[in-house]
Amino acid sequence: MTRFNAWNVLKNGLLGQSGWDRQWRDPEPKSAYDVVIVGGGLHGLATAYYLAKYHQVRRIAVVEKGWIGGGNAGRNTTIVRSNYFLPGNREFYEKSLTMWEQLSHELNYNVMFSQRSHVSLFHSPGARDAVARRYNIMRLTGNDDTELWDLETLKRNIPHLNTEDARFPILGAAVQKRAGTARHDAVAWGYARAADALGVDILQNCEVQSIERDENSIQTLTTSRGAITAKKVGFAVAGNTSLLWQQAGLGQLPIESHKLQAFVTEPLKPLIDQVVVYGVGGAHFYISQSDKGGLVYGGDLDWYKSYAQRGNLHIVQDVAECATAIFPCVGRARLLRHWSGIQDMSMDGSPFICKTPLSNLYLNAGWNYGGFKATCASGWYFADLIANDRPDPVIEGHNLQRFETGAVLDERGAGADCKLHG
Ligand SMILES: Cc1cc2nc3c(=O)[nH]c(=O)nc-3n(C[C@H](O)[C@H](O)[C@H](O)COP(=O)(O)OP(=O)(O)OC[C@H]3O[C@@H](n4cnc5c(N)ncnc54)[C@H](O)[C@@H]3O)c2cc1C
């Protein structure tokens, strides 16, 4: 694999870009592997990379029914942050953010991680107290990049915000300065290229269609490109998890599949430097500006379960209303595209990285709105779990039993309705 560095960029600039290698191979599936990861999204690719790089597992395949990054990986609004406060979640997301800070170097691929600050607006003294508690806990546990901004600071930093007559008056904001955005395609491609260089077979257009098992373990995965056996199997299929779980004859999961949309406008000159989040009284909206200038918006779920990767118009209206409520100046920006992805919403808003009732099956799922930021730690801990057959203490609580024991990880205290955990 030709490395990306100044010399190679210069050389290829002079040689008509003729000296670059293919980014990853297109191998034929083998009949047997040590580990098969089902799902070529960010989590599957990251897991394969860390397994190969840090656990010296050699015969690994990532099996993807479409093209890599074609699921939520390439559909999200790319926000990366670590403002969680429950034990387990806090360490997990902070580990992820720390890994994001080195990811371009780790992969020798520019994932365009931009630490531009994550600004959560608040609109009442009660909301300010709640975020102050959360952000103080972050500071007390070693994360000193958090601040509370009063209205004057907010106006100075984000001059286009409607601080005059917004429907819900803006009082200030909680800010995480190391948070930001990254380029989602680049993350998928970077992990794929690095994993391939370590010998991982990335098998695209290879759908797992049925699963053969005995009492205790998975025997064979029947795919659209033939039968594959594996000593260990990891599911990392996000919104399709319940389908695969049922194929394995394992019944129901505490997960619902919901649609989440994203939107992008025509390119504009630089307008918003940060990620800005607005959530109050049923309104839910987040906005950032891409490097190409498009404003990237996101909002709430479509509020009904579905496996469709397209959204409905009521959310377009909802998001447009939120956008103009806090940034009236974007009212005339034209929306270029909107799309949706299938979210694997868990009942307490936290993920699963855990063993399963089958001895050689491992589960990575339940990412809700937050799986992009989790990519690095998710791959890291899932690889460790698969390689060593026990969870690292950080992810011990991210298991399926928590709904039996009551040790749920409900960050928002919203209760057992997955739709409330956005
Ligand atoms: C609109 C939107 C906005 C979002 N915004 C953010 C954000 O700002 N920040 C954040 O942290 N997170 C965000 N997320 C969430 C994040 O994108 C997901 O949680 C994360 O991408 C899920 O992990 P993944 O990339 O591995 O999933 P996916 O990319 O969905 O990967 C799963 C893969 O499994 C494949 N697959 C499914 N079934 C099979 C099968 N039977 N055989 C083989 N392959 C199969 C699918 O084709 C898919 O490619 C957002 C999501 C959406 C949809």
Q: What is the pLDDT of residue 48?
A: 98
**pTM of the prediction?**
0.98
The mean pLDDT of 81-99, rounded to a whole number, is 97
Q: Which of 205, 372, 381, 421 to mutate to test the pocket of ligand 1 (most atoms within 8 A of CB)?
A: 372
Backbone φ, ψ for residue 136 (5° rounding): -65, -40
Cβ atoms of 257 and 218 within 8 Å: the answer is no
b vs e for 168-205, b when ≥16 Cβ sit within 10 Å of the residue's Cβ?
bebbbbbbbebbbbbbbebbbbbbbbbbbbbebbbbbe
**What is the C-alpha end-to-end distance of the chain, expressed in Å?**
40
Report whether residue 367 contacts ligand 1, using a CB cutoff of 6 Å.
Answer: yes
Ligand 1 centroid from CA 71, angstroms: 5
Ligand 1 centroid from CA 209, angstroms: 19
Report whether residue 79 contacts ligand 1, using a CB cutoff of 6 Å.
Answer: yes
Ligand 1 centroid from CA 169, angstroms: 34
Q: What is the pLDDT of residue 421?
A: 86
Cβ atoms of 274 and 117 within 8 Å: the answer is yes
Distance (Å, whole) CA 353 – CA 91 = 14
Distance (Å, whole) CA 260 – CA 226 = 33
Indicate whether 117 pLDDT > 80.
Answer: yes
Indicate whether 407 pLDDT > 80.
Answer: yes
Residues 55-75: tens digit of each pLDDT: 999 999 999 999 999 999 999
- List C-alpha distances in Å: 244 to 137, 221, 241, 250, 360: 38, 11, 5, 9, 15
Report whether residue 382 contacts ligand 1, using a CB cutoff of 6 Å.
Answer: no
Report whether residue 253 contacts ligand 1, using a CB cutoff of 6 Å.
Answer: no
- List C-alpha distances in Å: 234 to 9, 105, 223, 244, 413: 37, 27, 15, 11, 30
Residues 23-65: tens digit of each pLDDT: 999 999 999 999 999 999 999 999 999 999 999 999 999 999 9
- Please report where in the chains the tokens 């595209």 appear, as a residue: 337
Q: What is the pLDDT of residue 422?
A: 77
The mean pLDDT of 116-132, rounded to a whole number, is 97
Q: What is the pLDDT of residue 281?
A: 83
Residues 157-194: tens digit of each pLDDT: 999 999 999 989 999 999 999 999 999 999 999 999 99
Distance (Å, whole) CA 86 – CA 295 = 32
Residues 134-151: tens digit of each pLDDT: 999 999 999 899 999 999
Distance (Å, whole) CA 183 – CA 195 = 18
Report whether residue 248 contacts ligand 1, using a CB cutoff of 6 Å.
Answer: no
Q: What is the pLDDT of residue 388?
A: 98
Q: Which of 185, 237, 315 to mutate to test the pocket of ligand 1 (most atoms within 8 A of CB)?
A: 237
Ligand 1 atom closest to the CA of 188, numbered from 1: 25
Report whether residue 241 contacts ligand 1, using a CB cutoff of 6 Å.
Answer: no
Distance (Å, whole) CA 282 – CA 129 = 19
52: part of which helix (H) or strand (E)?
helix 42-54
Distance (Å, whole) CA 187 – CA 190 = 5
Distance (Å, whole) CA 106 – CA 129 = 38
Distance (Å, whole) CA 261 – CA 339 = 5
Report whether residue 43 contacts ligand 1, using a CB cutoff of 6 Å.
Answer: yes
Q: Which of 369, 373, 421 to mutate to test the pocket of ligand 1 (most atoms within 8 A of CB)?
A: 369
Report whether residue 238 contacts ligand 1, using a CB cutoff of 6 Å.
Answer: yes
Q: What is the pLDDT of residue 391?
A: 98
The candidate with the shortest Cα–Cα distance to 343, out of 63, 99, 75, is 75
State the pLDDT confidence band at 18, using cuts at 50, 70 and 90.
very high
The candidate with the shortest Cα–Cα distance to 271, out of 253, 296, 237, is 296
Backbone φ, ψ for residue 340 (5° rounding): -140, 165
State the pLDDT confidence band at 419, using cuts at 50, 70 and 90.
confident
Judged on CB neighbours under 10 Å (0-12, 13-18, 19+), 233 is: buried
Ligand 1 centroid from CA 387, angstroms: 23
State the pLDDT confidence band at 1, using cuts at 50, 70 and 90.
confident
Residues 299-357: tens digit of each pLDDT: 999 989 999 998 899 999 999 999 999 999 999 999 999 999 999 999 999 999 999 99
Report whether residue 369 contacts ligand 1, using a CB cutoff of 6 Å.
Answer: yes
Question: For residue 26, what are its two tokens?
Answer: 């297109």
- Residue 383: strand, helix, or coil: helix
State the pLDDT confidence band at 406, using cuts at 50, 70 and 90.
very high
Secondary structure letter of residue 322 according to DSSP: H
Q: What is the pLDDT of residue 320?
A: 95
Residues 205-249: tens digit of each pLDDT: 999 999 999 999 999 999 999 999 999 999 999 999 999 999 999
Between strands 208-213 and 218-223, the pairing is: antiparallel
